[in-house]
Amino acid sequence: MGQATMGTASEQMLWARLQAEGSRADRWSNEPGDRYGAHAHRYDKAIVVAMGSISFELPDLGRSIDLQAGDRLDLPAGTQHAAVVGERGVTCLEAHRAAGSLASEPVVTPRWAGTVDALGETESTGKP
């Protein structure tokens, strides 16, 4: 993951909201159908979908979470998660925080971005 120039006004707004929380956001994109096997991190992370969609499986919790543009997922450190990218691909902003900074359980905030219109296409900058 690396710092990148934000591609659209809506994406810039998402990035600014994460920065306002004291987070440095990185941007990543994946192609349709890309998958990540179950894994966990030693840090808390907030993921905001800027474009497209992605589905997360939380195997230890028996939960599935579908995220669309504008949705946010907060994952506490140690949360096992796997992911499958939606049919149009996905671009996300991701912020890392010290373990224990977020809630002790995953939190989904639909439409965290407020009203989000079509976000447009942006170039890929890497993968998580």
| Helix or strand (DSSP H, E) at 81 | strand 81-97
Pairing of strands 44-58, 72-75: antiparallel
The answer to whether residues 6 and 123 touch, using CB atoms and an 8 Å cutoff, is no
Query: pLDDT digit string (tens) for 45-75?
Result: 999 999 999 999 999 999 999 999 999 999 9
Single pTM value for the model: 0.81
| CATH assignment at residue 57 | 2.60.120.10
Residue from 20, 70, 25, 31 nearest 45 by CA: 25
Pairing of strands 107-109, 81-97: unpaired
Total number of domains in the chain: 1
pLDDT of 120 above 50: no
Q: Report yes or no on 124 lying in a domain.
A: no
Rounded to whole angstroms, how far apart are CA atoms 85 and 32? 5
Q: Which residues pair with 54 in a beta bridge?
A: 67, 85
Residue 8 has a pLDDT of 66
Kindly provide the residue ranges of all beta strands, DSSP E only, lying in 8-43, ordered along the sequence.
25-30, 35-39
pLDDT category at 113 given cuts 50, 70, 90 is confident
Full domain range(s) for residue 80: 9-109
